[in-house]
Structure 1
Amino acid sequence: MDADENARHAEKMAKIKAARDRMMQGKTGEKGLVIVHTGKGKGKSSSGFGMILRAIAHDMPCAVVQFIKGGWDTGERRLLTGHFGDLCQFHAMGEGFTWETQDRARDIAAARAGWDKARDLIRDPAIRMVLLDEINIALRYDYLDIGEVVAFLRDEKPPMTHVVLTGRNAKPELIELADLVTEMEAVKHPFRDGIKAQPGVEF
């Protein structure tokens, strides 16, 4: 890169920095966010657990409620309960995917128990972030009432508590309420080529 190119690059970056600095001057507020990770692509729960690890790194007490995976021996469960149990509560409330249980009443009872636990954790002023992993699946099948969930998050969530909700097919009412919504897009997945779910990647 010659001197003229370097100068042009430096000038361009200086303009970008000045614009960013002006934009950031108005971004001084803080609040507890309602965050939704949805879509058909992989990474919804992974992103939620990444946020939990960030919270732990900042010494922020946090909690996880899993609505579907239940007794699965997952890497995230091993890590959080084995190494960070003092900062992160972990509650696996589900009993497996709906096509495995094939028992609607049982699925509804498990979802209800998960939501009861989630409300207690969210109300706890000491807990700064709560991950509701795969709750969107429970909402999609109407195991939980979306109106009740939205009303609770809107009216009862402490102002500085972050709540992360994951799973496909997030309901429009939840998307409307949320402060941050990310939709994971499926571009390519090894499952289509006969590759099963693998430790360290899917669980």
Structure 2
Amino acid sequence: MESPKRVKPYTRPTGERRGLLLVYTGDGKGKSTAAFGLALRAHGRGLRVRIFQFIKHQGARFGEHRAFSALGIPVEGLGDGFTWKSRDLDHSAALAREGWERARAALLSGEWDLVVLDEATYPVRYGWIPLEEFLGVLRERPPHVHAVVTGREAPEALLDLADTVTEMRKVKHAFDQGVPALRGIEH
């Protein structure tokens, strides 16, 4: 047992308010979920939110797509699924590059307050999106634009650039116990 804190454990920050770069990475679950929760919070506060998913395919209708659609938050699938299911990795790479151009334009336009680049670490790690170009766009985005990048094994240079990095760590997972993915939970 511990006693509740009675003294604030920090001093009030005095830095500038600006667009942040947040990275959710690691081998644990919850990276996309954290980004989507942030997107909901931002939308609820009136921020203009746009979501790009680099692995999900165009026209995907997963639970998050249905919810975001109902709220009027644009979410766009840019890929063709997991690479181990791809019949043509050259096509997968081309989709990632085409999708990156749309995400890049959204980041630089200033039209959006929060841009989520879900599962973007994968096409960067595969070399489909050049790392330096990716980092350059994140650096060049307008000062008010917040960006979130999710995915396993985020490159060290991205972690260095980020304002906030959270690493999800798997402690225990139902899949390892033989439980298949569950619709609406997808654990």
Which amino acid is the alignment partner of residue 117 of structure 2? L
- Mark the runs of 5 or more structure 2 residues left unpaired by the alignment: none
Q: Does 1:126 align with 2:111?
A: yes
| SS of residue matched to 1:92 | strand
Q: Of residues 129, 135, 144 in structure 2, which corresponds to 1:150?
A: 135
Relative to the length of structure 1, the TM-score reads 0.85
TM-superposed CA distance for 1:201, in Å, is: 1.5
Paired positions, count: 184
Match of 2:67 in 1: 79
- Counterpart amino acid of 2:180? K
Residue 38 (structure 1) aligns with: 25
Structure 2 SS opposite 1:27: coil
- Computed over aligned residues only, the root mean square deviation of the Cα atoms, in angstroms, reads 1.7
Q: Aligned to 1:182, which of 166, 169, 173?
A: 166
| Secondary structure of 1:147 counterpart | helix
Q: Deviations over 1:149-178 (max 9, x none)?
A: 011111x20101000000101011111111
Runs of 5+ consecutive residues of structure 1 not aligned to the other structure: 1-8
> Which whole-Å CA distance do the structure 2 matches of 1:77 and 1:89 have between them?
9
Which entry has the higher C-alpha Rg, 1 or 2?
1
Alignment-mate amino acid for residue 36 of structure 2: F
Q: Once superposed, which parts of structure 1, at least 4 consecutive aligned residues long, lie more than 3 Å away?
A: none
Deviations 1:103-162 (CA, angstroms, capped at 9, x unpaired):
2211110110111010111122231000001001111211111111011111x2010100
> Which structure features the higher share of helix residues?
1
Match of 1:117 among 102, 106, 115: 102
Equivalent residue runs for 1:6-25 within 5 Å: 13=6, 16-17=7-8, 20=10, 23-24=11-12
Asked if 1:159 corresponds to 2:143, the answer is yes
SS of residue matched to 1:168: coil
Instruction: State how far apart, in whole Å, the 2-side matches of 1:133 and 1:146 are.
Output: 16
